Amino acid sequence: MYSVVENKAVEYTINFVKIPSPSGKEKELALYIRDLLEKAGFDRVLIDTVGNVIALIKGTVWDEPLVLEGHMDHVSPGDIRQWKYHPFSAKIVEGKIFGRGTVDMKAALASMIAASEHLLGKEFERTLALIFTVLEEPAEGVAFKIAVEETLRRRPYLVILGEASSLNIKLGHRGRALIEVNIVGKTAHASMPHLGLNPIIALSEIINYVENIELPKHEILGKATIAPTIIDCEPKCSPQIPDTCKVIFDRRTVLGEKKENVLEIFYTISRKLERKGFKVSAKVATETLRSWTGKNIHVEYFFPSWLINKENTLALRSLNAIRNVVKDSGFSIWNFSTDGVYSAGEKNIVTLGFGPGNEKLAHQPNEWVSINDIRIATRGYIELIKEFALEH
């Protein structure tokens, strides 16, 4: 019954993977998808100010659309020598499509498009919006917010994220914050370190301190974590002690944690180091990202955690719909962060995840998605659209 639409989803996946679309350089893929959607006959297709692609199938109810959402960008493939097949070849081996962005998350985009296209011409009660965002990898939720608030200008009834879910329904994940800690010491010749204040030594004390702090734990989302990920010291001269050091900490948060919570653990150790002569400051990191359209987007790297109750009516209806295709599908949570930090974390819109592939393969060399998962996910999206958008 669905073989044609499933084959389209597989074909679209292959075509999308062959178009590199790193963050901030999604233009070629965005234009390709726009043209594909226009040719298919969607009621409206547009690219917004930051480069998101948005397509609509209009229903009699416009105010609360059903949103199927995913991102077009991907991380770097890294060292090509670690790949069995070229990361943009979309090589098919033993029923798997290999390539950067297969599981994260071009297979989901392809399945969403094919499923929606399959239902064109049906009577839609609720408007369906496909939203494919840019810059999700460095700053989840930021471009999605622009798409919803500045372009769609409607509060979604339900958001379905296409991130890899192993064909289960995802209910949420921990939040993510980047904490920038700056340490100022005093430079000196490396042969006479006692004449200076080495910020690297201070940094080691900070890292040791935060690693031994007891962080909050949530019964479903798990434990909050913190890890140093980027360190930069100046000046960079081997016989000279630096006088400044900046470190970025990746902090994963659980429900209820605010910006002040992620910063407060640094206050005690900062005061201790200041008594030794160092100057220490901690803040939520910020950055200005440039989209492929040339638009600058200011980002504050604090993205809240979120969790949908498994008894939520829309969650239960979604699970029942998916079980028409995947009998053993169930509820679970993601380990990584998604665009749901905006829709669910910030706006309290019911947001669920369903997508092809295993999230553990994301960002890995030899990333792949199974063709069978693409086929099943396509049927799953059809069931979700039928459940929430078509007239009954």
DSSP states along 205-248? HHHHHHHTS---EETTTEE-EEEEEEEEEES--TTEE-SEEEEE
Stretch(es) of the chain classified as CATH 3.30.70.360: 175-289
Residues contacting 164, CB < 8 A, separation 6+ = 103, 104, 105, 108, 355, 356, 357, 358, 359, 361, 362, 369
Angle at 351 between CA 12 and CA 40, to 5 degrees: 30
- Phi/psi of residue 34, nearest 5 degrees: -55, -50
Arch. (CATH architecture) of 3-173+305-388: 3-Layer(aba) Sandwich (3.40)
For 80, other C-beta atoms within 10 Å of its C-beta total 10
Nearest to 132, CA basis, from 224, 258, 21, 10 = 21
Sequence-ordered alpha helix ranges (H) in the chain: 3-17, 27-40, 107-118, 142-146, 199-211, 259-274, 313-322, 340, 371-388
Q: CA 274, CA 125: separation in Å to the nearest integer? A: 63
Q: Is the dihedral of CA 111, 115, 120, 124 positive or negative?
A: negative
Q: Is the dihedral of CA 249, 250, 252, 256 positive or negative?
A: positive
Give pLDDT, residue 1.
60
Q: What stretches in the chain show pLDDT beneath 50? A: none
Sheet strands side by side (includes 61-71):
44-47, 53-57, 126-133, 61-71, 158-161, 351-353, 169-170, 331-332
Name the residue with tokens 């028409």: 324
Q: CA 213, CA 175: separation in Å to the nearest integer? A: 18
Residues contacting 360, CB < 8 A, separation 6+ = none
246 CB-contact burial (10 Å; exposed 0-12 / middle 13-18 / buried 19+): middle
Angle at 109 between CA 250 and CA 28, to 5 degrees: 85
The pLDDT tens digits for 25-58 are 999 999 999 999 999 999 999 999 999 999 999 9
Stretch(es) of the chain classified as CATH 3.40.630.10: 3-173+305-388
Token duo for residue 357: 């592939």
Give pLDDT, residue 391.
86
Q: CA 362, CA 166: separation in Å to the nearest integer? A: 12
Q: Is the dihedral of CA 48, 53, 54, 55 positive or negative?
A: positive
One-letter amino acid for residue 2 of the chain: Y
Q: Is 0.75 topped by the overall pTM?
A: yes
Q: CA 323, CA 308: separation in Å to the nearest integer? A: 19
Give pLDDT, residue 62.
87
Give pLDDT, residue 185.
97
**Assigned CATH for 175-289:** 3.30.70.360
